[in-house]
Amino acid sequence: MTARDSSSHMDCGPHATLLFSDLDGCLLNKSDYDYRPALPALERAVAMGIPVILASSKTAAEMVPIAAELQIPVAPLICENGGIILWRGNGPERREVTGVSRTDILSVLDGLKSEYPFRSFRDLQLEGIMAATSLPADKAALAADRHSTEPLLWDGSPEQLDSFGRALSAAGLSFTRGGRFYHVAGTATKGGALQKVVAAAANADAVKVIAVGDSPIDQSMLDRADYAVCIPAPDGTMNVHAAADRERAASQPGAAGWAEAIHGVLDERHQASIET
């Protein structure tokens, strides 16, 4: 499969713009998963013909119903922090695995379990995932349906954490902090998956990219964006950044901040279309 196959080819609409967004802490509030404050800006982007590509640590099984609930027109989904791209929109739906298999990740974690205090999704099992995420059983089961990443909770010291990260790196794996969990994966990133999706767009060289993120795991995506929308944490801390000419920082966390910043960027894109 190549990104230029007909099943992954994508029209970017009259504004030649793609909007990539993280979910938890951005389009969805971190505490209650509410997205209603973001809906006016989301609906505006859709009305402008801008494809919205969700990019999350969530699984494909989780993201498909979320995209449907948000009434986002069918578009690719970047799942498991870029380890999976679910190509949708033209032709049959296809899953591209860009990262390391979960089986290989769990094998490495097995070798480290006696030395480091952590609890991965496999350790937590369904009840533990429900407790850690506040998800009901059916949604927690979808979150556990992983193919290329393994989230975990860290129970040790910062010094142990550094050593654990080095051990994973030596095994060829990446270790990144997300909004709620640490994530063990291969070298695939959200930013790398973003590049694949952009390459599949019609007139890809002319496409402008909007990316929205709130945690370090989103940084690779923001680094590749023309408009890097940075969302603060609920306590006001900003954990992502971009160059001054590209950064569009929200003043509020979660869905309200998403709406505020996206409205501003859409105003810019509308103005640009008028001037050209």
**Dihedral (C-alpha) 240, 140, 27, 191: value to the nearest 10 degrees?**
50
Indicate whether 1 pLDDT > 80.
no
Average pLDDT over residues 190-216: 94
CATH of 6-98+189-275, one of 1.10.150.120, 1.10.260.40, 3.40.50.1000, 3.40.50.2300: 3.40.50.1000
- Among 45, 20, 56, smallest CA distance to 201 is for 20
Q: pTM here?
A: 0.85
Confidence label for 3 from pLDDT (cuts 50, 70 and 90): very low
Average pLDDT over residues 17-34: 95
Q: 122-156 pLDDT, tens per residue? A: 999 999 999 998 899 999 999 999 999 999 999 99
Q: Within its chain, how far is the Cα of 271 from the centroid?
A: 28
- Is residue 118 within 8 Å of 106, Cβ to Cβ? no
Is the domain 102-185 a CATH 3.40.50.261 member? no
Higher pLDDT, 176 or 195: 195
- Is residue 239 within 8 Å of 216, Cβ to Cβ? yes
Domain boundaries, the chain: 6-98+189-275, 102-185
What is the 8-class DSSP label of residue 24? B
